Amino acid sequence: MNEIELLKRRLQREKNIRQQAEKIAEEKSRELYLKGEELKNALQAESEAKKKIEALYQEVERLSRIDPLTELSNRRSFSTDALRLLQLAIRHKKKLSCAMLDIDFFKKVNDTYGHDFGDKVLIAVAKASRNQLRKTDLLARFGGEEFCFLFAETDLNGAALIAERIRLAISKLEFHFEKIRFSVTVSIGVSGLLDSNDNMENMIKRSDTSLYKAKENGRNRIVIWEN
């Protein structure tokens, strides 16, 4: 075998080796690409799962702070937000007023038209009340037919004016049950922050006491706390 033939064979072997190496490299490259795609998809799925978990957590947190029927703040949420407003009012020596509202003869509504229709009344009262408030005011359903308000930077007279707007707005609501039409009224008690030693619990108690005076005096009215 001459040198030329040997050279040709050697070149062919090198070519074969190179082709095999390229094939192996191509297979490895495709394998790495597929693994990379799998990893990317896995990371994307993990990211989406984290987002869903975070969204679910936020929704659970939101639901834990609202009354499911009226979508107002619940008592727990109100307590947290009210404490913040109270501390700000005391720190900056601002006025702060509280009001308690109760729907008059609401038990009669439930007994006459049923609890499902009573729920519709509660929703309408909540909406009418909320529409009269400013962004800085707080409103919560305290349970049953009772609602609590907190009016930031508002004295007793200002709070009484807001309460009157709320009372009038609710009195204008008209409910239809089959062929029957009726309206509801509310009683409201109002109190204000006394001094830096006052607290939210006592403000609510004073508003509640005023509310029951409104009930005793004939309902469908506002009573302001007097020392």
Do 59 and 100 have their domain in common? no
Do 159 and 182 have their domain in common? yes
- Model confidence pLDDT, tens digit, residues 182-203: 999 999 999 999 999 999 999 9
| pTM, to two decimals | 0.76
Angle at 79 between CA 73 and CA 84, to 5 degrees: 105
Verify whether residue 31 is a known catalytic residue: no
Between 75 and 47, the more confident residue is 75
Mean pLDDT across 146-150: 98
Which pLDDT does position 59 carry in this prediction?
61
Place of tokens 């969204």: 55
Do 119 and 52 have their domain in common? no
Inter-residue contact 225 to 205 (CB < 8 Å) = no
Indicate which CATH number applies to the domain containing 123: 3.30.70.270
Which pLDDT does position 57 carry in this prediction?
63
Instruction: Evaluate whether residue 91 is within a structural domain.
Output: yes
Count each helix (H run) and each strand (E run) in the chain, helices first: 6, 7
Dihedral sign from CA coordinates of 87, 93, 205, 167: negative
Question: Integer distance in angstroms from the first to the last C-alpha of the chain?
Answer: 125
Instruction: Evaluate whether residue 69 is within a structural domain.
Output: no
- Range(s) of the domain holding residue 27: 1-63
Q: Whose CA is closest to 192, among 109, 94, 92, 115?
A: 94
Do 28 and 106 have their domain in common? no
Between 122 and 39, the more confident residue is 122
Instruction: Evaluate whether residue 164 is within a structural domain.
Output: yes
| Of 61, 145, 153, 216, catalytic | 145
Do 152 and 94 have their domain in common? yes
